[in-house]
Structure 1
Amino acid sequence: MIRVHVFVEGQTEETFVRELLYEYFIDKNIYLNPILVRTSKTGKGGVVSYAKIKPQVNCKCLEDAKAFVTTMFDMYALPNDFPGSSSLPKTNEPLHKAEYLEREMGKDIGHDNFIPNLLVHEFEGLLYSNLQTFADWFDEVAVSILQAERNAFTSPEHINNNPLTAPSKRIRNCCKGYDKPLHGSLLAIDIGLDNIRQECQHFNQWLLRLESIATAI
């Protein structure tokens, strides 16, 4: 069994790995182990400082050299000390920005068993892959608003990362009572992994890379 440790920044992402990704990869002889990043000696969750994240990732790469280590962090609102954040290429293509930041993080960590990954722009972007699922939790008005927003962009991953219009802000604005820990993973499960992969190119590339581990060994 191939082991892959997945560093996540919140409980929603942790549940997403356990409930949606785990079963898919276990059938491919790959065991995913979500790890909630530590922000302090007692606190967990959130990428508030890369300086706090790097030692945790580095330690796991060294501690379990026969396993792989990857990340599922939001590209939105990354800390200023994140590798490559001060030298981002001038492009309007968010997928290119994510790829650049991932390469820089990969070089900074510097271990062969590390697979850098960022969500474009954040976890809630994945939820735009099939907005009809929101009808079971909210109402058709919210679905109509979200669908119109989705139609305005090339893909769910292109929905912008402005502090006022990031995917999470858009969802909260029209879905009264939306709570990420409660609804986030449940909506993702309802949407289904196939739909998310079809709609979200960068996310799909990450999963393809994880899948390739089994054939490469």
Structure 2
Amino acid sequence: MIRVHVFVEGQTEETFVREVLSPHFLLRHIYLNPILVRTSATGKGGVVTYAKIKPQLDRKCREDSNSFITTMFDFYRLPQDFPGKNSLPPTSDPLQKAAYIEQQMAQDIGFPQFLPNIIVYEFEGLLYSNPQAFLAWFDQGVVDQLHAEREVFPSPEHINDGATTAPSKRILKWCPGYEKPLHGSLIAIDIGLDTIRQQCQHFDEWLTRLEAIR
């Protein structure tokens, strides 16, 4: 069984890895182990600075050299000290920007088994893969608004990272009762991994890389 340690920002992503991604990968004899990043000696969750994250990645690469290490960090509000954040290529394509950050992280960590991944722009963007899944929790009016917003963009991963227009901010605007730890992973489960992969190219490329591990 191949082991892949997945460093995640929060409990929602941890649940998503365990309940949505893990069953898919177990069929391929790949075991995913979600790890909630530490922000202090006692605190967990959230990417505060790269300076706090890098030692955790380094340590796991060294202590389990027979496994692979990856990440599930949001591009939205990614700390400025992340490798490549201050030298992004002059492009409006968020997928290229995320790929550049990943390349820079891989170079900085320097372990061949480290396969970084950045979510474009954030976890909630994946939920725009099928807004109809929100109907289990919210009314049709909410679903219609989310559908309308989704249609403005080429893909869920292109929904921008503005302070008031990022995917999570848009969802909260129409769904004031949305609670990420409660609704996020459940809605993702209802959408299904296949649909998310079809809608989200960068996310699909990450899973394809993991599936190719031998």
TM-score (norm 2): 0.99
Q: Hey, what does 2:196 align to over in structure 1? A: 196
1:78 aligns with 2:78: yes
| Contact 1:74/1:119, CA 8 A, preserved across alignment | yes
Alpha-carbon distance in 1 for matches of 2:86, 2:136: 42
The CA distance in 1 between the partners of 2:93 and 2:62, in whole Å, is 34
Give a deviation string over 1:85-133, Cα, whole Å, max 9, x none: 1101111100000000000011001101100100000000000001101
CA offset at residue 67 of structure 1?
A: 0.2
Which residue matches 1:26? 26
Deviation digits for residues 37-89 of structure 1, max 9, x if unmatched? 00000000000100000000010001000000000000110111010011011
What is the match of residue 51 of structure 1?
51
Report how many residues are paired.
Answer: 214
Give 3-state SS (helix, strand or coil) of 1:86's partner.
Answer: helix
Residue of structure 2 in register with 1:89 after alignment = 89
Cα displacement (A) at 1:176: 2.5
Aligned-partner Cα distance in 2 for 1:63–1:69: 11
| Partner in structure 2 of residue 67 of structure 1 | 67
- Name the CA distance, whole Å, in 2 between partners of 1:193 and 1:208: 13
The equivalences for 1:115-194 within 5 A come to: 115-194=115-194
Quote how far apart the aligned CAs of 1:136 are. Answer: 1.1
Corresponding letter in the other structure for 2:199: E
Q: Unaligned regions of 5+ residues in structure 1, if any?
A: none
**What is residue 6 of structure 1 aligned with on the other side?**
6
Q: Any idea what SS the aligned residue of 1:66 has?
A: coil
Shift of 1:152: 0.1
Q: Is the 8 A contact 1:138 1:176 kept in 2?
A: no
Q: CA separation in 2, counterparts of 1:80 and 1:17?
A: 26
Identical aligned pairs, as a percentage? 67
**Corresponding residue number in structure 2 for 1:39:** 39
Amino acid at match of 1:145: Q
> Tell me, what secondary structure is at the counterpart of 2:65?
coil
Code of the residue aligned with 1:70 in structure 2: it is: T
Provide the alpha-carbon RMSD of the alignment: 0.5
After the TM superposition, which parts of structure 1 deviate over 4 Å for at least 4 consecutive aligned residues? none
CA shift at 1:179, angstroms?
0.2
